[in-house]
Amino acid sequence: MNRLQDKIAIVTGAGRVGNIGVAICDAYLREGAKAVVGTDLRTDEAAQIISEIEAKHGEGRFRLLAHDTTKEEDWRKVIDTTISEFGGIDILVNNAGISVHGGVESTPLHEMSKVMAVNHDALFLGMKLCIPALSESAHRFPGGGSIINTLSMASYMPSANNLSYQVSKAAGRMLTLCAAVELGPKRIRVNSVHPGLTVTPLLREAFQEYADQGLWESYEAAEDAVAAMGPLGIKSYPEDTAHAFVYLASDESRFVTGASLYHDGGIGQRF
C-alpha cells in the first residue's frame, strides 16, 4: 500500500475492460497515486471502466480520456488536462499497442506503417512531449520522473508471422534505451516491461484467429499450449503484470533506468 503515494500518472491503452492498461490504473490507485489519467482510442467501454474503478477507489482520482497516441494534438490535450487538473506528471506509461499478423511477403506497407506508428512512434511522441513535466518530478520524489514502455517478448524473439509487431516492439526497446541514457541527467528514468502470455481481450482475439485457422481447437487450447512452453508453465493475468509497473513507477526503483523487465514466465529463455 502507498508505494505511489501522491504521484500523478498517465497510462495509455486503458480503455478496454480486462486489459493491462486498466489493471495498471487500478494498481496505481490502490498504491496511493494522487491521480491516474487513463487514455484510449476507444471510448465504448469507458462508462463500465470508470464505474468499476470509482467503486473501488472513490471519485475524483481517475479520468479516462479519448486519445489517439499517434496524434500530437491529442497528447497536448491529455498533458494539459493532467497538469491543470492534478498539478503535474510523475509517471508516463506508454502501454497502447496493436498487433497485426503477417510476414514480409503478406504485410502491406500501410499496415507496417500503422503498427510502427502505434507501437513505436507514439512512444517517442509521448516521451518527447512529457519531458518538461516529468523533469519536475525530481523536486517532489526521490525516484524522479518515470517512463515505462510496454513492450513484449516480441522485442527479442523473431517470428515468421508477426513481422510488424516484432519489429515495432524491438524498435521500442532501443528507443527506451536511448531515452534512458539521454534523460537520466534530467532525473527521468526510462524502463520497459515485456509481458509474456497475459490473458487479455487482445490475446484472446489473436488466439481466436489461430483457432479459426485450425491451428488449435479453441483459443483456450492455444493459451494452454503457449503457457506450457514456458519454464513456469503458467499464464499471467493483467493484475500480475501490473505489479511490474508499480515497481518501476515507485521510488523503490530510483536507481533503475534502461532496464528491460521480462514478465514472461521465463518463456524467452527457451528461444
CB-count burial class (<10 Å; 0-12, 13-18, 19+) for 44: exposed
Residues 69-88, mask of contacts with ligand NAD (x by CB under 6 A): xx------------------
Return the beta strands (E) in the chain as ranges. 8-12, 35-40, 62-66, 91-94, 145-150, 188-195, 260-263
Instruction: Please tell me whether residue 40 binds ligand NAD under the rule CB under 6 A.
Output: yes
Q: How far apart are CA 249 and CA 61, in angstroms?
A: 17
Q: How far apart are CA 210 and CA 28, in angstroms?
A: 34
What's the min distance (Å) between Cβ of 5 and ligand NAD? 26
What's the min distance (Å) between Cβ of 246 and ligand NAD? 16
What's the min distance (Å) between Cβ of 154 and ligand NAD? 7
Please give the residues from 235 up to 264 whose contact with ligand NAD meets the rule CB under 6 A: none
Q: Residues 15, 38, 143, 265: which binds ligand NAD (CB under 6 A)? A: 15
Q: Which residues contact 152 (CB under 8 A, 6 or more apart)?
A: 97, 165, 169, 194, 195
Instruction: Please tell me whether residue 197 binds ligand NAD under the rule CB under 6 A.
Output: yes
**How much is the CA Rg of the chain, to the nearest whole Å?**
18
Task: Find out whether 11 and 93 touch, Cβ atoms under 8 Å.
Answer: yes
Q: Residues 28, 89, 97, 191: which binds ligand NAD (CB under 6 A)? A: 97
Which of 28, 156, 165, 262 is catalytic? The answer is 165
CB-count burial class (<10 Å; 0-12, 13-18, 19+) for 256: middle
Angle among Cα 45, 50, 54 to the nearest 5 degrees reads 155
Q: Residues 49, 89, 92, 118: which binds ligand NAD (CB under 6 A)? A: 118
Q: How far apart are CA 138 and CA 206, in angstroms?
A: 40
Nearer to ligand NAD, 68 or 251 (CB): 68
Counting residues that bind ligand NAD (by CB under 6 A) gives 28
Please give the residues from 130 up to 159 whose contact with ligand NAD meets the rule CB under 6 A: 150, 152
What's the min distance (Å) between Cβ of 169 and ligand NAD? 7
Instruction: Please tell me whether residue 67 binds ligand NAD under the rule CB under 6 A.
Output: yes
For the question of residue 165 being annotated catalytic, the response is yes
What counts of helices (H) and strands (E) characterise the chain? 9, 7
The residue whose Cβ lies closest to ligand NAD is 97
**Interaction site with ligand NAD (CB under 6 A):** 12-13, 15-16, 19-21, 40-42, 67-70, 95-98, 118, 150, 152, 195, 197-198, 200-203
Q: Which residues are catalytic?
A: 165
